[in-house]
Amino acid sequence: MVNTKLPIYLASKSPRRRKLLKSIKLNFKTFSVDLAEEVFDAEHPIKTVKRLANEKLKQAEKSINDAIIITADTIVVLDNEIIGKPVSKKNAVEILSRLSGNSHLVYTGYSIKNLVSAKQVTDYAKTKVKFRELSKKEIKDYVDRGSPMDKAGAYGIQDDYGSVFIEKINGCYYNVVGLPLSKVYQSLQEVI
């Protein structure tokens, strides 16, 4: 599907992003960037995720040559507030209680750069996610399983509980998992 002689690097530690790119049969290597992901309240979420994807790209460029690099950043926004990864189990329960019965937004920004031609695309996708009302027991059970801890918004749409928490979405499903596959695929073709 994607034809290039250049190696492709996914500069992301997220196992979900790796799985998504594997699902479209892409050959790629992974590379970890360490970035203090600073967010500013006054900054619009679209700006935030594109800026963070770009900062990750710049970081990765220092160590990689003659390749295509993909970076991404996903945030969850509820009532204009960015909801990060939970800092504790108690915090995960708080986050899920706030998401319960409400709609929130998921933004993923991504940057793709061909280091040989210097062609670059930085873009984003937005998906609205509606949770059904969750019971306290459902939230407790989910948090006890440990699944929420490494995820923005304290849930995974693709995991066993996450999938039954969500009533409907409006936008790209894979964006909520961590990478808007359809857009990323098209952007990849653009830089090749």
Q: Which is nearer to its own copies, 51 or 174 (CB)?
A: 174
What is the x/- site pattern for its own copies, positions 118-147, by CB under 8 A?
A: ---------x----x--------x------
Segment 146 to 175, residues that bind its own copies, using CB under 8 A: 157, 160-161, 163-174
Burial of residue 135 (CB within 10 Å: 0-12, 13-18, 19+) is exposed
b/e sequence 101-130, b meaning 16+ C-beta within 10 Å: eeebbbbbbbbbbbbeeeebbbbbbbbebe
Selection from 171, 135, 127 nearest residue 153 by Cα:
127
Q: Which is nearer to its own copies, 63 or 170 (CB)?
A: 170
> Rounded distance, CA 178 to CA 125, Å?
10
Selection from 129, 112, 109 nearest residue 121 by Cα:
112
Which tokens hold the place of 88?
Answer: 């504790």
Does the annotation count 73 as an active-site position? yes
> Rounded distance, CA 70 to CA 8, Å?
8
By CB under 8 A, is residue 63 in contact with its own copies?
no
Compute the least distance from the CB of residue 34 to its own copies, in Å.
29
Q: Residue 73: helix, strand or coil by DSSP?
A: strand
Q: Which is nearer to its own copies, 87 or 164 (CB)?
A: 164
Compute the least distance from the CB of residue 154 to its own copies, in Å.
17
User: Could you tell me if 175 and 17 are in contact, meaning their C-beta atoms sit under 8 angstroms apart?
Assistant: no
Whose tokens are 């790796």? That residue is 18
Mark the segment that binds its own copies (CB under 8 A) among 56-64, 83-91, 104-112, 182-190: 182-190
Point out the catalytic residue in the list 73, 79, 150, 160: 73
Q: Count the residues of the shown chain that bind its own copies, applying the rule CB under 8 A.
A: 26
Q: Name the residues annotated as catalytic.
A: 73
- Interface residues with its own copies (CB under 8 A)? 1, 23-25, 127, 132, 141, 157, 160-161, 163-174, 181-182, 185-186
